Amino acid sequence: ITNHSDQEKNVAPLEVTRLPPSGDLFYPRGDTDPISGIFYPLDVQNIDNLTWYRYDAKKIRNDHHKVMQDGKEGWVAYVDKGYLLVKQFDDNPPAAIAP
């Protein structure tokens, strides 16, 4: 992102990954608890320092859901139907999260 203005700007570029409505998602638990902001929360579980989310259509509303949480080690994984997807990224501390 290039700021072409004369004023400093704070932005939070996002990378979106769309996955089928099935499977399990997990990542190493970081230093913050999961929050949902103004959105409906997702039913995440913290097991052995991993945060887990199992898709369950019965628990999903028609509105927007979201979970935000610090994760350690710089990765998130999704597993479904015998496939594993692992995304890697820079591990930033919670203090570096955009407001």
Contacts of 93 (CB under 8 A, 6+ apart): 31, 70
In a domain, 14, yes or no: no
Say how many Å lie between the first and final Cα of the chain, rounded: 17
Model pLDDT, residue 9 = 86
Please tell me the distance from the alpha carbon of residue 1 to that of residue 11, in angstroms, as a whole number.
Answer: 9
Task: With respect to residue 36, please indicate whether it lies within any of the assigned structural domains.
Answer: yes
What does the alpha-carbon distance between residue 39 and residue 42 come to, in Å, rounded to a whole number? 9
Range of the domain at 30: 24-89
55 domain residue, yes or no? yes
In a domain, 80, yes or no: yes
Between CA 69 and CA 52 the distance in angstroms is 12
Instruction: Find how far residue 11's CA is from the centre of its chain.
Output: 17
At 16-46, the pLDDT tens digits run 888 888 999 999 998 888 888 888 888 899 9
* Cβ pair 17, 25 in contact under 8 A: no
pLDDT for res 98: 67
Determine, yes or no, domain membership for 62.
Answer: yes
* 54 part of a folded domain: yes
- Residue 99 domain flag: no
Residue 14 has pLDDT above 90, yes or no: no
